[in-house]
Amino acid sequence: MNTHVIENESLRVTVSDAGAELISVLDKRTRAERIWTGDPAVWNRHAPILFPFVGKVVDGKYRIADQTYAMKTQHGFARDLAFDCVGEAPDAVSHRLCASDWTRERYPYDFRLTVTHHLAGRELFVGWTVENLGDSPMYFAIGGHPGFLLPAGVRKEDCRICFPGADELRYRQVSQAGFALPEIKTLPLADGRAPYQADIPNTWIFEDGQVREVGIVLPDGQPFVRLRCERFPMLAVWANPNGPFICLEPWYGRTDDEGFQGTIDQKKDIQRLEKGETRELGYSVSFL
């Protein structure tokens, strides 16, 4: 699959046509890679786009009104499909995915999803434009899932997750099957920071727009990466226990509650587009 490079004096960024996925950010100052390498023995992704669902649907099925559709894969299907490159410049690249007969069997909406990666200094902007080209309202979820590779020799258990300005946060976890648990837990923070807790293998999901900015702080107190997600209703933190990386994930929508039996429009923070409507969403990452 083809890849595309955008760069400036600080960073060299590579994006693949496969899933319009960010697969590399090379820091020219340190010559270090900043995005997880996609080792298939640990986690074979880098920074996938989650669309048109985030997480799983119960029993691999979901309903629109009285019609049932199969969605066997986690996080929808966009991450596994080839996008068309529709724009390229030295500091930006855009990709597009359109509805097809294959997607309509699984997700019956006529959509167009455009993904743009734009570089400015040491900050990378990730933009999504979602369009409803059909004749009826369209429901979707979308999310980012970037995995940030830690410096050589740094254990994620020794890092801190930084939530500027917060004293504590409320979060959910997910079951072993991948569904949201009902219990709301409290994460206490010291100076807006909490240690990454290796003894909690589940995802932390912070709902209700609690998080507008999140970062990773190295064991020596040095800020490493900062993600801004001002308009997102959810932010998740996840890490595979076997890899030296941490994922910071801005989401619109999430995995189903355990035992969820509702229709698509009843899913938590599902997004709705009217006929002909377009929505522009996105987040940014600063590599510090």
DSSP string, 218-267: -TTS-EEEEEE-TT-SEEEEE--TTSSEEEEEEEES-PPBTT--S-GGGS
Query: At residue 190, what is the residue type?
Result: A
Check which CATH number belongs to the domain holding 251 and give it: 2.70.98.10
**pLDDT, tens digit (0-9, with 9 covering 90-100), for 168-190:** 999 999 998 899 999 999 999 99
pLDDT for residue 202:
67
CA distance 37 to 202: 21
**pLDDT, tens digit (0-9, with 9 covering 90-100), for 192-241:** 999 887 655 568 999 999 999 999 999 999 999 999 999 999 999 999 88
Percent of the chain with pLDDT over 70: 98
pTM (2 d.p.): 0.96
Which run of H or of E encompasses 139?
Answer: strand 138-140
Domain residues for 72?
A: 3-287
**Which residues have CB under 8 Å from 13's CB, separation 6+?**
5, 6, 7, 22, 24, 25, 26, 117, 119, 124
Structure tokens at 239: 């890490």
171: burial class by Cβ within 10 Å (0-12, 13-18, 19+)? buried
**pLDDT band, very low/low/confident/very high, at 12 (cuts 50, 70, 90):** very high
Indicate the range of 72-81, 101-110, 199-208, 240-249 predicted with least confidence.
199-208
**pLDDT band, very low/low/confident/very high, at 1 (cuts 50, 70, 90):** confident
pLDDT for residue 198:
61
CA distance 272 to 288: 35
| Chain mean pLDDT for the chain | 95
**Tally of domains in the chain:** 1
Taking CB atoms within 8 Å and a gap of at least 24, the contacts of 63-72 are 63/262, 63/263, 63/264, 64/108, 64/139, 64/263, 64/264, 64/265, 65/263, 67/108, 69/106, 69/107, 69/108, 70/106, 71/106, 71/107
